[in-house]
Amino acid sequence: MVTEADHPDIFIDMQVFDQDVIAAESAALFRLLGDPNRIRILQTLADADELCVHEIAEAVGTNETKVSQALRLLRTAGVVRNRRDGRHIHYRLDDDHVRTLLGVTTAHLAHLAPHRPGPP
């Protein structure tokens, strides 16, 4: 479980934010992350730190066009950032909050696994 003692940087005073805005923006973020290809891209970036589009496409097993489109959405949402190096653009997770979100999600799924029925 993520606690304020373990990760004080991700616990903010929620009193200063409008709860309706938080709910709407959280829902938009979860919709963005609701695509398995985007999650695979984020996991790949979390594991490798920084990669070009062609490296991500190879690792994820899809084409560069799909990866570029996904990265554009993720960058616009502030989930990834990029760095230009000549003709190449390198992508990385925007910050450790994204890595934490991926880790907490994985931990939650592992916690649920024993309680899920097996395949029919």
Residue 83, domain CATH: 1.10.10.10
Asked if residue 3 is part of any domain, the answer here is no
What tens-digit pLDDT sequence spans the chain (120 residues)? 455 566 555 555 555 678 888 889 989 999 999 999 999 999 999 999 899 999 999 999 999 999 999 999 999 999 999 999 999 999 999 999 999 999 999 998 898 888 777 655
Asked if residue 104 is part of any domain, the answer here is yes
Phi, psi of 30 (to 5 degrees): -65, -35
The set of residues, in sequence order, having a beta carbon less than 8 Å from that of 33 and lying 6+ positions away, is: 39, 42, 79, 101
Task: Give the Cα separation of 110 and 114 in Å (integer).
Answer: 8
Whose tokens are 């959405």? That residue is 73
State the burial class of residue 100 (Cβ atoms within 10 Å of its Cβ: 0-12, 13-18, 19+).
middle
Asked if residue 57 is part of any domain, the answer here is yes
Asked if residue 105 is part of any domain, the answer here is yes
| pLDDT at 119 (0 to 100) | 59
pTM: 0.80
Asked if residue 30 is part of any domain, the answer here is yes
| pLDDT at 114 (0 to 100) | 84
Q: How many domains does the chain have?
A: 1
Asked if residue 9 is part of any domain, the answer here is no
| pLDDT at 28 (0 to 100) | 93
Task: Give the Cα separation of 44 and 13 in Å (integer).
Answer: 32
Which domain, by its residues, includes 105?
A: 14-115
Asked if residue 2 is part of any domain, the answer here is no
Asked if residue 1 is part of any domain, the answer here is no
Q: Is 92 helix (H, G, I), strand (E, B) or coil?
A: strand
